[in-house]
Structure 1
Amino acid sequence: MRSIKKIHEAEYRPIADLVTYSPMPTRSLDHIDPFIFLNHHGFQTYSANNQGLPFGPHPHRGMETVTFILEGDIMHMDSSGHESVIGPGGVQYMTAGSGLIHSEVSSAEFKKNGGDLEILQLWLNLLSDKKMMKPSYIGLQKPEIPTFELDGGKVKVQQLFGAWEGTKGAFEGNFPITMSTIYLGKGGKFEKSIPTSDAIFFYIVRGELKVNAQEIQFRHLVEFENNGEKIEVEASEDSILILGNAASFKEPMVAQGPFVMNTHKQIREAYDDYQAGKFGTWTH
């Protein structure tokens, strides 16, 4: 059984009128290589005629984003020409690579009508030899993502990366990674074997789970030791879990603002390239 090293509570960090919690980085946890950043927006309900999400045009380089839309929607636009509106249960996967400008805002319909919103964004690092790869973006709606059930239907799994129970994930990662969004009904349980060498990303979005016999509440991230393969999970109430694993890169990492590189010199180059217009032109 994989031992729990520490349980990290997400810190409250509102952005404008957007309820936001962040479990990583915090004062107790910098990152779990190669998982480097997570923001959990909501749950909250927007009234009609709202301003929606506040993430207007901004640059990125050297990393990837995985965005989980549980409630509400998110409209993505970027300087490579990609554009989509993804709704509840959908997921966006963007590779910033050598650099792009993108915006993440609510659709005109959501801003007009309001509604519930809960969205999470996870940043993944890129290996040094892939940091300057060509940017890419894929946005998938809920029906487009492969799903399967465990424990007689009490556990429903959206498979995003890698394979589990013979189900291949919706996205092809830029390094070996497995990731799922898992919906557990009360009493639902599963176990999974993960290579001892892999880092585990384990964040409880909603509900309460018993993890290797330890009760853990929502908005907590579980940090594991690298000393066993098996994890056992049981839902004390209806819950949502994001579970991922990947081998750690063990490379130098310098993160500053929207850029994640290997050296301070590369960070300065990223700012210079952005200001010189090398991230593409924003024409939206």
Structure 2
Amino acid sequence: MEANSKGVAGVLNAPAPHMVGDGFRVHNFFPSGYKLKMSPFFLLDYNAKIAFSARNEPRGVGVHPHRGFETVTIAYHGAVAHHDSAGNSGVIYPGDVQWMSAAGGILHKEYHEAAYSKKGGDFQMVQLWVNLPAKDKMSKPKYQGIQHQDIAKYQLPAAAGEIEVIAGEYKGVKGSASTFSPMHVFNARLNKDGKAKFDFPASYNTGFVVIEGSIKVNNAETAHADQFVHFKNEGTSIEVEALENSVVLILSGEPINEPIAQYGPFLMNTAEEIQQAISDYNQGKFGYLE
């Protein structure tokens, strides 16, 4: 382990799963599963790989509101169709990312895509809630649908694999998504024995989700599929070695040091803003969606 390595605070098993709607069987790593310091990432729901049976009526989550944050959905297996009250819609297939800024308020719904639903099969996703700074919470909603072929990629030397740079920057390769605060979101797709190095400021909150395979971190800690590696706020460098072909979701971001008030699908700074969000939603100010 290098002198300036970012130490591992813990290798965490996936908490017991729960259903979101009837289409997403998720393990909530934080904030309810573990009390982790991960701002600007407020929530991490991990839909570990599961096989859904075929059915004609797609499973999913009906119309619901959001305000004050962004939802980021990263697809590994299966397909999800999205619709929102700002008129955005799309399907995310394996490798795709959907980055929705609810910001000032939006209604949306997400279901298994119709063709996938009819045939069934493996389903694996991550959904993050990314907090917004107070100054941006009431900005206009926006939608970034990022297809896998359009994600910026860095090819690692020695056929070690590649880093998909969803947001932030890796070795000069800039991410495909725009963000409101500094953060790095990568998919590291590593071949067996492949190594990758990462460098994040000591103050950044950092965690890895092992999506597939198993890895060794800083030549010391081992983590397997469906585990979360949480790092200490010390040191800057991390080395990952793939013990088998592996996929790792890399998260690191500058904390938003502002008060948080959360109620259901609203993430604001004060209780008064939560009350305002509920009032605005009840008055139909989040738009309309069937």
Q: How far 1:151 moved relative to its partner? A: 3.5
**Residue 271 of structure 1 aligns with which residue?**
278
Q: How far 1:109 moved relative to its partner? A: 1.1
The 5-angstrom pairing of residues 180-191 of structure 1 reads 180-191=186-197
Give the Cα separation in 2 of the matches to 1:8 and 1:265.
35
Identity of aligned residues (%): 34
Contact kept in structure 1, 2:37 and 2:205, CA below 8 Å:
no
**Residue 128 of structure 2 aligns with which residue?**
122
Structure-2 change in CA distance of 1:31 and 1:225 (3 Å):
closer
Q: 1:100 aligns with which of 81, 86, 106?
A: 106
Q: How far 1:219 moved relative to its partner? A: 1.9
Give the Cα separation in 1 of the matches to 2:216 and 2:43.
24
Q: 2:7 aligns with which of 3, 13, 30?
A: 3
Is residue 246 of structure 1 aligned with residue 246 of structure 2?
no
Is residue 255 of structure 1 aligned with residue 262 of structure 2?
yes
Q: 2:210 aligns with which of 204, 210, 221?
A: 204
The 5-angstrom pairing of residues 1-284 of structure 1 reads 1-15=5-19, 16=22, 18-49=24-55, 51-212=57-218, 213-282=220-289, 284=290
Give the Cα separation in 1 of the matches to 2:260 and 2:14.
22
Structure-2 change in CA distance of 1:42 and 1:244 (3 Å):
closer
Give the Cα separation in 1 of the matches to 2:194 and 2:94.
22
User: Counterpart amino acid of 1:170?
Assistant: S
Give the Cα separation in 2 of the matches to 1:153 and 1:237.
14
Contact kept in structure 2, 1:196 and 1:227, CA below 8 Å:
yes
Give the Cα separation in 2 of the matches to 1:106 and 1:156.
28
User: Counterpart amino acid of 2:140?
Assistant: K
Q: How far 1:99 moved relative to its partner? A: 0.4
Give the Cα separation in 2 of the matches to 1:27 and 1:70.
22
Contact kept in structure 2, 1:205 and 1:219, CA below 8 Å:
yes
Q: What TM-score does the superposition give when structure 2 sets the normalisation length?
A: 0.92
User: Counterpart amino acid of 2:223?
Assistant: I
Q: How far 1:218 moved relative to its partner? A: 2.1
Contact kept in structure 1, 2:15 and 2:33, CA below 8 Å:
no
In structure 2, list runs of 5 or more residues that go unmatched.
none
Q: 91-100 vs 195-204, which deviates more?
A: 195-204
Query: Could you give the per-residue CA deviations for residues 20-58 of structure 1, whole angstroms, max 9, x where no partner exists?
Result: 222112353245111111111141222222544421111
Q: 121-130 vs 105-114, which deviates more?
A: 105-114
User: Counterpart amino acid of 1:157?
Assistant: I
Give the Cα separation in 1 of the matches to 2:46 and 2:61.
14
Q: Secondary structure at the match of 1:248?
A: coil
Give the Cα separation in 1 of the matches to 2:62 and 2:95.
23
Contact kept in structure 2, 1:67 and 1:93, CA below 8 Å:
yes
Q: How far 1:63 moved relative to its partner? A: 0.5
Structure-2 change in CA distance of 1:163 and 1:38 (3 Å):
same
Q: How far 1:238 moved relative to its partner? A: 1.8
Contact kept in structure 2, 1:11 and 1:23, CA below 8 Å:
yes
Give the Cα separation in 2 of the matches to 1:126 and 1:144.
25
Q: How many residues align?
A: 283
User: Counterpart amino acid of 2:285?
Assistant: K
Structure-2 change in CA distance of 1:119 and 1:50 (3 Å):
farther
Give the Cα separation in 1 of the matches to 2:248 and 2:133.
26
Aligned alpha-carbon RMSD (Å): 1.6
Q: Secondary structure at the match of 2:284?
A: coil
Contact kept in structure 2, 1:59 and 1:102, CA below 8 Å:
yes
